[in-house]
Structure 1
């Protein structure tokens, strides 16, 4: 097998999307547990499942939901103790992962703040004063 002329390496230009990249926003890696809230057909009470958010951007996220997840195609992604409810739609399911797009685009500052959280359970607890500035606009 021939070696490529220019081997791929990570550098500061890695954030610049290639012409073949179809994503509109840069994806920030995360390792956070979040709630997925949805209503099952015929059931009045909402269902809540905790899923892992692996990456996040202004327009969507990648979630680890498991191979046999009951999460429907439309649901709310809940951050904190219901401080932020983000309408989401599944665009692809593959191998226990779901790629979702948000109904409304999020603010870049909000996405950056979420992606900086270190504790994996931080989005299951109250988010605190750092997120108060976003609560009026719902993160968007």
Structure 2
């Protein structure tokens, strides 16, 4: 019985010291400064953001709860795709929320992005703006 009590006391002493030892090893991390995100240099144009870089225009959609697909969808579906025009000429269709129009010549260009959808809120929605390639 004495052995059992001695074992319990020893076990209690060891586990108590171990916890104290672990607490000492935990070091406080110094405050790490939060890196501030630089404000985006993208310009807002209706439901789109865009940025000209070199001979390319980076375009990003800000539409919420809208599914981009190869078809305009059924009436009432928030589904569709973009058609891109440069200087009045069709440059192609885009099916992603962010895309790039590349290889523009130097000078002023008129960009138009049209949303093709059968949803009444988005039907034939379009944005047009001028870009300057240097």
Greater RCO structure (CA 8 Å; 6+ sep):
1
Q: Could you say which structure has the larger radius of gyration?
A: 2
Normalised-by-shorter TM-score class = 0.3 to 0.5
Question: If each structure's strand is expressed as a fraction of its own residues, which one has the higher value?
Answer: 2
